[in-house]
């Protein structure tokens, strides 16, 4: 029978750790095989309400009352029946099967983001918001950015894939389009300070210099303008791990942070940290202007004054 489901086999073969990772649930260790944290089902406020036992393959939320096996968890997350959850787990629907080797959870002791081992499906890279921000369809498709209508914490948001220096997918960030807070949502426990956005692409041709910006869209727009060697800090701060990663690859930096008070302060602080080890140039933008608000021609004009060549791509 094509749609026959062996519930027992599925519960034994699909680990709860893998499914938690599929839904980007980050928990902290509270025992040998015990984890706890915010409940992904009701997204409650209780910091330790959600408990998961990876040995027994069960979970329980002391706030919303949800609990049970891996089947119960998927059914609760997908708002579906146990049978439908079983079909999703064994690949009986349009979703990929989750029956893969076990994955490690993000714990309090683990800071470096681990590869996800899966990718969100059904991402719409043609959403009107992207065009409104000046992002071309080819750029959105290349970076894997688009509107996500699936379930989970990124439902109804624009999702932005984040890769480590080796090009491994380690997380998604969800950008709200309707004013919902937070505007940018990262998975709980994601070590943003350990990652530099777009570093794996910026180092692909070993360019002489790299442009450093704050945000995702700044990076996208510069890349779209033909400036291949560009990375984003995902904020104004340059963290130690980010600094080490950048200095391991570059000796010339062009800082193009936002033209507001925070951006100017960050430019000064970042330049001071990098100058003992590398050549640094700061591009000062007009008041309250962000790089992604500049035209492609204006971006290129600002970068032409730099004495070290910046890798440009005429076909990107």
The structure's pTM equals: 0.65
Would you list the DSSP string of 5-17? --HHHHHHHS-HH
The alpha-carbon radius of gyration of the chain (Å, integer) is 22
124: exposed, middle or buried (Cβ count in 10 Å: 0-12, 13-18, 19+): middle
Write down the pLDDT at residue 123. Answer: 95
Quote the tokens at residue 168.
Answer: 């491994």
Q: Which residue has the higher pLDDT, 49 or 112?
A: 49
The crossing angle, in degrees rounded to 10, of helices 240-247 and 261-274 is 60
Write down the pLDDT at residue 42. Answer: 78
Average confidence (pLDDT) over 200-224: 88
Does the pLDDT value for residue 233 go beyond 90? yes
Start-to-end CA span in the chain (Å) = 49
How long, in residues, is the chain?
Answer: 316
Domains and CATH numbers, the chain: 7-89 (3.90.580.10), 123-194 (3.90.980.10), 199-304 (3.40.1360.10)
Q: Give me the percent of the chain exceeding a pLDDT of 70.
A: 85
- Of 7-21, 180-194, 226-240, 291-305, the poorest mean pLDDT is in 7-21
* Under 8 Å between Cβ of 258 and 285: yes
DSSP 169: E
Of 193, 212, 219, nearest to 140 by C-alpha is 219
Does the pLDDT value for residue 250 go beyond 80? yes
Q: Give me the percent of the chain exceeding a pLDDT of 90.
A: 49
Does the pLDDT value for residue 310 go beyond 60? no
């Amino acid at each position: 029978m094509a749609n026959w489901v062996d519930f027992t086999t599925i519960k034994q073969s699909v680990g709860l750790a893998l499914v938690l990772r599929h839904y980007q649930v980050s928990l902290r260790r509270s025992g040998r095989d015990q984890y706890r944290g915010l409940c992904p089902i009701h997204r409650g406020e209780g910091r330790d309400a959600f408990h998961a036992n990876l040995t027994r393959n069960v979970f329980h939320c002391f706030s919303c009352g949800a609990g049970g096996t891996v089947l119960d968890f998927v059914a609760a997350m997908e708002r579906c029946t146990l049978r439908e959850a079983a079909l999703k787990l064994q690949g009986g629907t349009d979703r990929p099967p989750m029956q893969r080797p076990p994955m490690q959870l993000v714990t309090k002791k683990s800071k470096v983001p681990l590869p996800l081992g899966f990718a969100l499906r059904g991402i719409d890279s043609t959403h009107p918001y992207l065009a409104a921000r000046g992002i071309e369809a080819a750029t959105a498709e290349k970076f894997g950015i688009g509107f996500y209508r699936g379930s989970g914490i990124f439902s109804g948001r624009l999702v932005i894939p984040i890769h480590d220096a080796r090009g491994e997918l380690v997380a998604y960030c969800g950008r709200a389009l309707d004013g919902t807070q937070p505007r940018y949502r990262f998975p709980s426990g994601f070590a943003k300070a350990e990652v530099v956005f777009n570093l794996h692409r910026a180092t692909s041709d070993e360019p002489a210099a790299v442009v450093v910006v704050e945000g995702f869209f700044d990076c996208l727009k510069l890349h779209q303008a033909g400036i291949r060697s560009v990375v984003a800090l995902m904020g104004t701060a340059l963290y130690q791990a980010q600094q080490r990663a950048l200095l391991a690859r570059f000796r010339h930096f062009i800082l193009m942070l936002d033209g507001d008070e925070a951006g100017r302060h960050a430019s000064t602080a970042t330049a001071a940290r990098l100058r003992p080890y590398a050549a640094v140039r700061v591009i000062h933008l007009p008041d309250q202007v962000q790089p992604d608000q500049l035209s492609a021609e204006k971006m290129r004009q600002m970068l032409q004054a730099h004495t070290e060549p910046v890798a440009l791509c005429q076909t990107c």
